[in-house]
Amino acid sequence: QVQLVESGGGSVQPGGSLRLSCAASGSFFSINAMGWYRQSPGKERDLVTSITSGGRTNYANSVKGRFTISRDNAKNTVYLQMNNLKPEDTAVYSCWVAYTDGDVAYDQWGQGTRVIVSS
């Protein structure tokens, strides 16, 4: 099982920046992909961005050009740099990991960190 520790959420004014981080630890064979989901009140949880072990990235259209995901494979840590934040980015952001343990593949989400964008 993987434990995920997230940090970096908070409150910021529109146009501001925040950096989220998520460190994975525990017993697993390999981490394949990592990323971030977000959920706003009354809405479903959506994928914001992901990155594979090889560095291939994927972004939701709403955050392209503003958010940047990066990953430190040696530390099993994923980062999300969020710039030019907008009120509609307000949500709970959850780290996501796709990993393999033996022959079985798993998906796991963190507990989430709240991001509030408001003037």
Instruction: Name the average pLDDT for the chain.
Output: 95
Whether the pLDDT of residue 37 is over 80: the answer is yes
Residue 91 pLDDT? 98
Q: Is residue 81 a contact partner of residue 70, using CB atoms and an 8 Å limit?
A: yes
C-alpha to C-alpha distance for 75 and 15, rounded to whole angstroms: 30
Residue 65 pLDDT? 98
Position with higher pLDDT, 47 vs 1: 47
Q: What are the pLDDT digits (tens) for 98-113?
A: 998 888 999 999 999 9
Q: What are the pLDDT digits (tens) for 76-93?
A: 999 999 999 999 999 999
Residue 78 pLDDT? 97
Whether the pLDDT of residue 59 is over 90: the answer is yes
